[in-house]
Amino acid sequence: MIFSSELIKGTLKTILLKLLADNSKMYGYEITQKVKEMTADRIQLTEGALYPTLHALEQEGLVTTQIEYIGKRVRKYYSLSPAGKSRSQEKLSEFADFVNTMKILLDLDLKTA
Amino acid sequence: MYCITDEQIDYILNDIRRGGIETEDLQLNLLDHICCIMEQELKEDGDFERLYHATARQFYKTNMRELEEETINLLTFKHYYAMKKVMIGSGALSAAILTTGSIFKLAHWPGAGILLFAGIVSFSLLFLPLLFVLKAREAKNARDRMVTGLACLLGIVFSLATLFTVMHWPGSSMLWFTGIGLSAFVLLPVYFFTGIRQPETKLNTILMSILLIGITGLQFTMMNTRPSLSQTYVRVQSWMQSESLLKAMQTSHQSEQAAGINALCEQIKSLAIGHAATDPVHELTEGRPGDYFFHNGEGLQLIARLHQAVTAYNSQHNAEMIPIENSLLTADPEHLGHVYSNVSILSSITQIQLYLAHAENNGLASAK
């Protein structure tokens, strides 16, 4: 089963911040592959959502970038800035709270789900 | 693993650019991303172009530009909802303040000026620009964006023109003409000729264009029926001429009765000049007898007293030394504020004084 893009949309920033916190630097394609691999293909980030969000994170100063030339093309690596590190913590604990609240609200049993 | 050639890289980059991706960063990101996928999936003898288009197709719903727009939106509209709230709030507030201000102005209550000023400023400099920014974002194409921009600009010009007129600031005529010109020669043609071509907007375009022509025409008519500045200026000068003629004719030898009439006249005149005493030419060319003349009915009371004094003077001399018919004295007090401008009141009073000076001088001459 692949999750709907509506479900992913609200958590995309959290996912990106967490991935960059665990991996010192990543580029776009690598991020999509990593997510696919970690979730056994159940979450597939779309390019249409990924890149706009990465640019927004860069503008907010949460990530820094580094350019690498590969022949004629350019690869842009993203890594967390100090501000991004603390934001990543905030986002994660906010999401944990959210999941717990949803558990109560929707009466879910997370062990069997 | 397949290795993408330089020509293929150029091909992809060109296609991305043609697709509407203008941000260079985004172009490079997408290029690398597509290359990575292609290198993973393309066989040595595979069809490069077909695989490329199939891959790129997964990036968007209807066209590549969506990515560019989404990026710009995320970068520029972090405060979208706050802006929307401010827009609605400022719009409602300015409408309320403007209505209150207009009522105050009609009733000659104090504070009308400040209310109108605040209402128009927040309407034209806060609400309309925000409306443009938010509406332009929702606009589907360049045409809608341009029409929205022009319409908002026009709204701002007309609001400021109204403000300048109400506050008697110089330059209001300029603003009105700019607004009317902008409406008739820019907004209307752009709106009409771009809208008429599409069948689905045709009827609306025709209707809205007719309305626009109507409104612009009405405004133009209104501009022309307001007394022009130069005309009023001439009348102010003519009054000032009468005033210096009066000074030349008045002598220190005048009857007690005449002195009383003159005192009343001076009172009325200073009331009509009001706070403009320092710069009568400028203030009088713009204004009507405002709140200060009719405030507490003071102006009307003085005119009534002058009427009595003049009638008494005439009857004592058994002749109509100062003609009352067709003068300010017999004007319907109800209509005085609408028919007479400040300059007309001044001229009328000075004429009465001239008749009086003439009568007094004649009296002196016959007494000798």
> Is A69 part of the contact surface with chain B (CB cutoff 8 Å)?
no
- For every one of its 368 residues, what pLDDT tens digit does chain B have, with 9 covering 90 and above? 778 888 888 899 899 888 888 888 888 889 999 988 888 888 877 788 888 888 888 888 888 888 888 888 777 766 777 788 889 999 999 999 999 999 998 888 888 889 999 999 999 999 999 999 888 877 778 888 888 999 999 999 999 998 888 777 878 888 988 999 999 999 999 888 888 888 888 888 899 899 989 988 888 887 766 666 667 778 888 888 998 999 898 887 778 888 899 989 988 888 777 655 555 555 565 555 555 566 567 788 888 889 989 999 888 888 888 888 878 888 777 666 666 777 888 888 999 999 999 888 887 656 54
Can you tell me the distance from the alpha carbon of B301 to that of B324, in angstroms, rounded to the nearest whole number? Answer: 17
CA distance A61 to chain B (A): 12
CB contact under 8 A, B35 and A73: yes
Chain B residues within 8 angstroms (CB to CB) of chain A: 6, 9-10, 23, 25-26, 28-33, 35-37, 58-61, 66-67, 70-71, 73-75, 78
Compute, in degrees rounded to 10, the torsion defined by CA atoms B315, B318, B321, B322. Answer: 20
Element (H, E) at A44: none
The ipTM estimated for the assembled molecules is 0.84
Chain A residues touching residue B30 (CB < 8 angstroms): 47, 51
Chains A, B: CB pairs < 8 Å: 66
Domain-by-domain residue ranges, chain A? 5-106
What's the pLDDT score for residue B43? 80
Residue of A nearest to B26 (CA): A51
Place of tokens 């609605």: B88
Assess contact for B292 and B342: CB atoms under 8 A.
Answer: no
Give tens-digit pLDDT for A19-77: 999 998 999 999 999 999 999 888 888 888 899 899 889 888 899 999 998 888 889 99
CB contact under 8 A, A52 and B58: no
- The HSE-up count of residue B340 (CA atoms within 13 Å, CB side) is 27
Would you say how long chain A is, in residues? 113
Place of tokens 């960059």: A20
Among candidates B29, B74, B75 on the partner chain, residue whose Cβ is nearest the Cβ of A28: B29
Query: Which of A12, A26, A47, A76 is the mutation pick for testing B, counting most B CBs within 10 A?
Result: A47
pTM for the model: 0.48
Query: Which of B5, B29, B65, B66 is the mutation pick for testing A, counting most A CBs within 10 A?
Result: B29
Can you tell me the distance from the alpha carbon of A47 to that of A55, in angstroms, rounded to the nearest whole number? Answer: 12
Chain B residues touching residue A5 (CB < 8 angstroms): none
What's the pLDDT score for residue A80? 93
Q: Which residues contact B367 (CB under 8 A, 6 or more apart)?
A: none
Among candidates B67, B73, B75 on the partner chain, residue whose Cβ is nearest the Cβ of A59: B75
Can you tell me the distance from the alpha carbon of B109 to that of B295, in angstroms, rounded to the nearest whole number? Answer: 9
DSSP label at A111?
T
Chain B residues touching residue A32 (CB < 8 angstroms): 33
* Tokens read off for B100: 């209150």
Name the nearest CA neighbour of A45 among A15, A87, A79: A15
What's the pLDDT score for residue B232? 74
Assess contact for B116 and B98: CB atoms under 8 A.
Answer: yes
Q: Which residues contact B281 (CB under 8 A, 6 or more apart)?
A: B233, B236, B237
What contacts 24+ positions apart, CB below 8 Å, involve B212-215?
A: B212/B183, B212/B187, B212/B188, B213/B184, B213/B188, B215/B183
Domain-by-domain residue ranges, chain B? 6-73, 78-225, 229-367
Among candidates B6, B9, B59 on the partner chain, residue whose Cβ is nearest the Cβ of A47: B59
Q: Which residues contact B35 (CB under 8 A, 6 or more apart)?
A: A73, B4, B9, B12
Pick the CATH number of A5-106 from 1.10.10.10, 2.60.40.10, 3.40.50.140, 3.30.70.980: 1.10.10.10
What's the pLDDT score for residue B368? 46
Among candidates A29, A55, A74 on the partner chain, residue whose Cβ is nearest the Cβ of B71: A55
Query: Which of B6, B31, B33 is the mutation pick for testing A, counting most A CBs within 10 A?
Result: B33
